[in-house]
Copies of this chain bind each other. A is one copy, B any other.
Amino acid sequence: MARGISLNRRTFLISTSGAAAGVAATGLAGTGAHAQDGALPEYAAWKDPDALIVHTDRTLETRREAIGAPPITPARELFVRNNLPTPPLSATDDPDVWEIAFEGVASPATMTLGELKRYGVTSTPAVLQCSGNGRAFFDHEASGTQWSVGAAGNVVWTGVPLARVVEAMGGAAAEARFLTGTGGEDLPPGIDPLTILVERSVPIEALDDALLAYEMNGEPLPIAHGGPVRLVVPGYFGVNNVKYVRRIALTPAESEAKIQRTSYRIRPVGVEGDPSQPSMWTMTVKSWITAPLHEPSSGAVVIQGVAMGGASALSSVEVSTDGGETWQAAELTGPDMGRFAWRPFALVTTLEPGRYTVASRATNADGDEQPRDFDPNERGYGHNGWDAHAVELTVS
């Protein structure tokens, strides 16, 4: 994603989409047409190359035109954002032997996934979204991957309800205030581990909904998405869903790892990260248009997108075709799969030839409405402003 485009960034994004659509129309997709984006890395070689923008070998974004309006995002199309190289691919050969250490409970223990499965099972549809999804829409040059809308997906996690494990171990230690998960990546020698360790803490209340997930969309969780087992904290930004989780601790304080202490903190542009600033924990209400993205012909047009409530359930979505001057209620076209899931929406409308600015605006059960704008922050986190997420559409 090019940098430094501010005023016309929205239009620029659509031009990119149009080019990709053109490639598909000529039948060249899948034959290296996206080679300028780089090839899929080995651990994600099973994914759909036409659905993904390869920013780097650790950051793969779902193309806006590939998102469509699915109740569930296919694994082959789901984004990837890794902080470190993955463990060896062989780590998922026998998921049941993977060990997790539990601390900060009355009776600490280390258990294999096979043993943990005896505590029960639950399945939770939930949005997985990178903290930086929408970074490309900020006008300042926030460093990091320039995600537009595709660092998000809606998947069904299946795993062990973490609260039951904690209960079986005698419950949380009295002083516990946070649920802290530690990733199982191999750390390179010679570097202070705290500077690179993937260890995140969330408020202990998140334990109620947390899973030790070993399946996604009904299939074993691949390394690319944190298999053999991932800490899933529904409603929380992606970084809190610790991959290849090796340790779960109920702690009195947040982790001292950099990724928790100073990274993933919302602060004004130019300010250093600091533990007093808000951490990227619960997600917010958000929606975006996924179709059409290139010139539809005039007449009936089905405007589609996806919408999520964030920390509370989605309640409604409106669509505007005039850049937010007027709004119409959209229809939620997919099932209600619970408060952590997104829902596809659609508005069937009639458009004459011309140019339109198509925007969507979601509201959640708490009454939070997607704002028009979103204040810049140093690292470009959490953008949910509807204006920047709008698309320019030419109807022929």
Residues of A within 8 A of B (CB): 68-74, 76-77, 117-125, 156, 158, 215, 217-219, 299-302, 304, 331, 333-335, 337-338, 341, 344, 346, 348
Tell me the complex Cα distance, A257–B194, Å. Answer: 71
Whole-angstrom distance between the Cβ of A358 and the nearest chain B Cβ? 16
**CB distance A335 to B218 under 8 Å?**
no
* A302 partner residues in chain B, CB cutoff 8 A: 117-121
**CB distance A68 to B218 under 8 Å?**
yes
Tell me the complex Cα distance, A77–B346, Å. Answer: 30
**CB distance A333 to B69 under 8 Å?**
no
**CB distance A123 to B218 under 8 Å?**
no
Given contacts A118-B348, A120-B333, A156-B335, 13 further A-B contacts (CB under 8 A): A71-B156, A71-B158, A71-B218, A72-B156, A76-B219, A77-B219, A118-B301, A119-B348, A121-B302, A121-B304, A121-B344, A121-B346, A123-B335
* A299 partner residues in chain B, CB cutoff 8 A: 118
User: Looking at the complex, which one of B77, B218, B337, B346 makes contact with A337 (CB distance below 8 Å)?
Assistant: B337
**CB distance B156 to A70 under 8 Å?**
yes
* A121 partner residues in chain B, CB cutoff 8 A: 69, 302, 304, 333, 344, 346
**CB distance B68 to A333 under 8 Å?**
no
Copy number of this protein in the oligomer?
A: 2
Tell me the complex Cα distance, A123–B118, Å. Answer: 34
Tell me the complex Cα distance, A216–B125, Å. Answer: 17
**CB distance B123 to A74 under 8 Å?**
no
Tell me the complex Cα distance, A69–B117, Å. Answer: 13
Tell me the complex Cα distance, A123–B120, Å. Answer: 30
**CB distance A70 to B218 under 8 Å?**
yes
**CB distance A70 to B123 under 8 Å?**
yes
From A119, A299, A300, name the one whose CB has the most chain B CB atoms within 10 angstroms. A300
* A341 partner residues in chain B, CB cutoff 8 A: 335
* A348 partner residues in chain B, CB cutoff 8 A: 118-120
**CB distance B125 to A71 under 8 Å?**
yes
* A68 partner residues in chain B, CB cutoff 8 A: 215, 218
Tell me the complex Cα distance, A341–B218, Å. Answer: 15
Contact A219:B74 (CB < 8 A) given known A335-B338, A337-B335 = yes
Tell me the complex Cα distance, A55–B144, Å. Answer: 52
**CB distance B120 to A346 under 8 Å?**
yes
The 9 closest A-B pairs by CB, nearest first: A70-B218, A123-B334, A118-B300, A74-B218, A335-B337, A71-B123, A120-B348, A335-B338, A122-B333
* A304 partner residues in chain B, CB cutoff 8 A: 121
